[in-house]
Structure 1
Amino acid sequence: MKNIMLVACMAILALFLVGAGQAESIEAAIDNDCYPNPGTLTVPAGQTATNFALQVLSAGVNCYTGAAIEDKGWFIAIGDANGKRVYEYSYNVALSGEGKKQEPYGPLSALSLNQGDYVIYVDGGKGAHVLADYALI
């Protein structure tokens, strides 16, 4: 009887894990030569990318002066960098030192992407980096 209960519990757990979606990550950076290294995200037919969560967003340094950059941001666009933006985040620091966060297309946690190809770019100078997780369901 205990073995049957164990098998049943494992089967239920497996169903929950399958229903939760496959965990994925996206990232983009700006390399030491100040060239952007965009990330790509492909949502296969019949699936949706959802449950986005930012893990890392770091600014780098000015490509010409080497001065630290406080402003940072990133975006996701359809197809390529010139495509329609579906998500954007920016953090700008005023001269007073006060920072302001903006997400003009809504919060990352509410983002849901249908089938298609997307590109991810980061702003913030040499060494800038963004890493976010999402699930395909």
Structure 2
Amino acid sequence: MKIQLKLIFIYFVLTLINCQNIREHAAELRAVKGQFFVHMLHSAYFFPQTVDVKWSASTRGRPTLPQWMHLIPSRHRSIAFLIGTPVSPHSHFPLHIIATRMDSFQSSEQSFSVVTNDDRKLIFNILNG
């Protein structure tokens, strides 16, 4: 439980730092290689209202997530987190997320991508603006 609270705290701090709106669900998420990545999944992104769900996530077309990424459920069953530090030489990770309602077993699926860039490229772009 302490770990989940720490993860939630880290998520909100990172959200404030990055000025992201957590209610928007993008088709493409950005991450920086070597930096901690957090993305919140909420059942309201998948169903008309917030409901308790069982979460499942994988790389599109494969049975598991990338090795660096983990799906962490919250004690609130309507929420889960994708977390990890991208260290792969690859830069594009197409994800497939399934949310299955606990009350009716109805499922809803979404696909989106996590695109990583090297921190040095980001600094170079900022300096050469």
Give the TM-score normalised by the residue count of structure 1: 0.34
Structure with greater contact order relative to length (CA < 8 Å, sep ≥ 6): 1
Give the number of the structure whose residues are more often strand, by fraction.
1
Give the number of the structure whose residues are more often helix, by fraction.
2
